[in-house]
Amino acid sequence: MTPPYQRIVLAFDGSAEAEDALGRAVEMARDWSAHLTIITVYHQTVPLTFGFSPMPSDVWSVDEGRASHRILQDAVRKAEAAGLRDVQGVLVKGYPSEEILQCVEREHADLVVMGSRGRTSVGRLLLGSVSDAVVHHARVAVLVVRPLT
């Protein structure tokens, strides 16, 4: 019997909700001998102006990129420590929902796993939601892991 999913993409930002999703994705990947790709997305910040000279955005992008790299590497290590061997980390700069969807296509994934921030419907309406965007635009199954409360 073929496992239900063979290529899983996990969207990971280091939040508590993402940690819950990591545990679920690792468990599924291990049980189904599936490949797991963990993607962390960071975005370039707008340059800040101090006095008369703007602070170059590259400085902030480098710092954010380094922090995101550490978050991603920690997730990959946790997956490997849980017994998963077929795992890779992907770090990209851009808009989270767009980059996650592009990763799903590149990896030929058949499942996306991500955490939910648990925003209210008003918050989602005003701020938008990465999980909502992925759920509505993904061409594959999406599992949004909600915190146990």
Q: Is the pLDDT of residue 146 over 90?
A: no
Task: Give Rg (Cα) of the chain.
Answer: 16
Phi, psi torsion values for 87, nearest 5 degrees: -135, 140
The Cα–Cα gap between 132 and 130 comes to 5
Q: Is the pLDDT of residue 34 over 90?
A: yes
- Burial category of 87 from C-beta neighbours within 10 Å (exposed 0-12, middle 13-18, buried 19 and up): buried
SS3 9: strand
| Predicted pLDDT at 65 | 85
The Cα–Cα gap between 53 and 84 comes to 48
Note the pLDDT tens digit of each residue in 40-94. Answer: 999 755 454 444 545 454 444 567 889 999 999 999 999 999 999 999 999 999 9
Task: Calculate helix-pair angle for 57-81, 16-32, nearest 10 degrees.
Answer: 40
Sequence letter at residue 74: D
Sequence letter at residue 145: V
> In the chain, what are the domains?
7-145 (3.40.50.620)
Q: Is the pLDDT of residue 108 over 50?
A: yes
Cβ atoms of residues 107 and 9 within 8 Å: yes
